[in-house]
Structure 1
Amino acid sequence: MYITTYFILILALVTMLVQCPGGGGGGGGGGGGGGGGGRGGGRREPCRSRACEVVESIFSIIIAVCFFCALLNCIVGCCCQLRAGRPSRANADFIHQSSSENHNLERDPFETGVWSFRYYQYGKWHGFYRLPLTFDRYLGKVTGQGKDDVGDFTVDGIFSSDNLRLALTQSYVAGTGDPKENLGHTSIIQTTWNSKNNQFEGR
């Protein structure tokens, strides 16, 4: 917004500076009918002075700088959006990290079936959504697929029955759901079992 405002102001200023006076135009013809002088008076020639060349060079540099700043701002914004909420640890490191919370071990939460989930974004909760998950206790892996307000997705991940931690990689299918939000991107979800709320919680 600020870049656009500055650009408009600079454009108006440079436009006024570039409009230097031109050569007046060809006067009337000397003999004959005497009518040849009518078309010349209001014509302007392009400004070719050294001052105009300097102003045009400055104007070109300003346009290039504004374009570069706008492009850089767009790239940084996209990167921040894609990295927002991304965990700092790898999934394998996360699930093997012990938790200080006392877990309720009377019930193993890693059960194959239809789960429900929600997520927090843009200042509000989204969901709940249904998510069928299949747990392989021998390999310690989990797979599934579902759909939310962003689009269709698949999930695969790993879990730890000792630490009661679940880490998922959520991959959205491009061309489904909301075209503004679904970039065909991948999200990392790392959660820990909360025995008080009887649910997995994390980000």
Structure 2
Amino acid sequence: MNVSDEQIRTSFRKEQSLTSIARLRDDMGTPAPKRRKNKVITDECLIKLWQCYDEGLLDVPSFLKAAGLRIFQRPPKLTGYKIKRETQSSISNTNSGGTNSNPSTGAIVAAIIGASIGFVLLVCCCGILCTIFILIPSFYTRLKTPNPTVTGIHNVVASAYRTRESIFVPGTYASYYSKNGSYRGPFYMTLGFYNTAGYMVYGKGKDDVASYAIKGFYSPITRRMGLQLHYQIGTGDPDQNIGQTISVHVQWNEYKQQFEGNYYSSIESTGKNNHFTIKRH
């Protein structure tokens, strides 16, 4: 393949025209067309130029001008200052977590943190559910379990109602009282028990003194009675009956099946030796 000097000159003129066009484009402010850096000549043209140089048709300066000097230039060597500066820059980017960090590492770390938080939340939820399912049945069982104190109160109340039904029964009762060391009686009285009226007792009776009206209270829990015997003036023995009031305090004796206690007169000095007994007739 023979290349004449005229062809080489034509090639140089084309390059000069291209250079002038590029200079004119720069003066007009037009951006340069995009091209790959250091890519001046294609591989096919480079092979042809090399063949011309190998056959002695081109000298070294002509070959270098036609192929472009940048292809055969060595990369610039980094000085010690530039190496040190680039090393410090890379270290600072690594320490500060800059844009050079591997994005896959960040994704892995985020996934591990998310999994840890999810595991902790799962454990907490399981603990809360277990606590609820353990404490609620226990609390419900405790509510159903009867309290000994409350049970005792209920038993006392139930026993009181049974006592009221068996002891405080309306009807006729026989009474006895002691005076000056001797018992007198039996005398009869009629008693009525009214739990709806505040556990009050109403009745009447008669003894060796005179007739009397009865008013008082009773308690089915303590099994006690407190009675007031109001003697009616104009009845019985006028020497003994002056309208006095006798207070009787008695309590149920389960063994003897009777009420026992003392009485107190409003006109006489009486004490514990003045016994009073009420039996069911």
- Tell me the TM-score range normalised by the shorter chain: 0.3 to 0.5
TM-score, normalised to structure 1's length? 0.47
Higher relative contact order (CA 8 A, sep 6+): 1
TM-score, normalised to structure 2's length? 0.34
Higher-strand-fraction structure: 1
